[in-house]
Amino acid sequence: MGLPVCSNVSTASWIGIHPGSHVSETGLEQGKSLMQHQLFVLAFFLVLLVLFYQIAVIFAPFLVPVLWAIIIARMTHGLYVKLVHLLRGRDTLAAGLLTFATMFLVVFPIVSLTVLLVQETTMAYRSVMEWVQAGGMTQLPEYLGKIPLAGRFIQEQLRTFVLAGSGYEGSIAEGTKTVGTFVLTQISGLARDAFSLTIDLSMMLFTLFFFYKDGRGLFWRLYYLLPLEERHKQKVLIRLNSAMAAVVKGVLATSFMQAVLAGGAYFVLGVPFALVLAAITALFSLLPFGGTALVWVPVSGYLLVSGPIWKGIAMAVWGSLVVALVDNVFAPLFIGHEMQLAPLFLFFSIVGGLAAYGFIGVFLGPILLAILLTAIHIYEEEYQTKGPVIPKTDTADT
């Protein structure tokens, strides 16, 4: 017997099958599930961004000490591995020994020099004030007039711009008050900076210990989370290591060169304790502002007062034209050669990093530049099928 046929109802509907309704309900369920998943992903990443922002705010005051700890830990990682091997796997002891070594070789000298600078600046201020009160300022124009070639010009400018309108004694009193206020302000700033520097160095040592001990696991976890292919990760890692090593070597080499050049001048000009002053020059060359000038400028003043005037002038010229320029010329050339970067961009990265982040910017600027160039190289590999076409210079006669 055949099935009954109804012209208004399809066979599938008559036997209880409704394909249109079934497909529609399945599609709605899939769409709803997809939307829920997308909302969950969006909410998750929003919460993650908020958490990252809050953590960044919390860690911001410790950014510079943490960056210093990262640089020191990376540059001494090979020594740490050898020490762990010698201590038969006792990584905590190795981390503690290296941290104490860093404290004695780096932190203590920096803190001692900072405290000494504050003390010497205070003593210099008192000596200058005693000299002024004893009438030293009244003999200043006569003394400046003895300087070869420029003495008479300095005297004329002093009378024209400094003494005009208020009288000599009034200019001395006003100038002394201004200088005294400025020096006192600088001394107070140095004292505050010394306290802040001590806190930062303590935080750096604390962080450095845990980077030695647990840094390897943390590094590889971050390495695994990078959303890049393995070959691209390797490129970033190699470029990062080479940039960090080149900057550290460049800064240390520049410091050594400045110490040799300045120390040679101290010795030739007969400055007492030339070797000690050369070592202090090497340490002060690492400071972001002032640098070696904090040493050779006072030495020039000492030579102007105690010896033939030409020695003080020679020291000032040598310091400003040779010693000071080494940091601005030699460092970018050396670091650029090691990193295979254009000296112009490297110079701007060093100076800009110094202005933006302080002394840590000397390291951070070139490192960020190297990472950026690596990212551009990865982009060219992935999305550029052809290299840039650089037209040749037309040397034909026009």
Q: Is residue 26 domain-resident?
A: no
The pLDDT of residue 151 is above 70: no
Q: Are residues 83 and 128 in the same domain?
A: yes
- Looking at the structure, do residues 376 and 260 belong to the same domain, yes or no? yes
Residue 148, number of CB atoms within 10 A of its CB: 9
- Domain ranges, residue 154: 61-221
In a domain, 334, yes or no: yes
**86 and 187, same structural domain?**
yes
Is 15 domain-assigned? no
Identify whether 395 is part of a domain.
no
- Cα 189 from Cα 165, distance rounded (Å): 34
113/207 same-domain check: yes
* Domain final residue, candidates 221, 237, 257: 221
Does 203 share its domain with 262? Answer: no
At 135 the pLDDT is 62
**Same domain, residue pair 297 and 207:** no
Q: Are residues 203 and 236 located together in one domain of the fold?
A: no
Q: 90, 84 in Cβ contact below 8 A?
A: yes
Checking if the pLDDT of 226 tops 70, the result is yes
pLDDT of residue 13: 47
Q: How far apart are CA 115 and CA 197, in angstroms?
A: 11
pLDDT at 183: 55
The answer to whether position 30 is within a domain reads: no
Question: Number of structural domains, the chain?
Answer: 2
Identify whether the C-beta of residue 205 lies closer than 8 Å to the C-beta of residue 103.
yes
pTM: 0.63
Asked whether residue 45 is domain-assigned, the answer is no
**Mean pLDDT across 284-288:** 70
- The tens digit of pLDDT for each residue in 73-119 reads 888 888 888 998 898 888 889 899 999 988 888 777 766 766 666 66
Higher pLDDT, 37 or 145: 37
Q: Confirm whether 362 is domain-assigned.
A: yes
The answer as to whether 28 is a domain residue is no
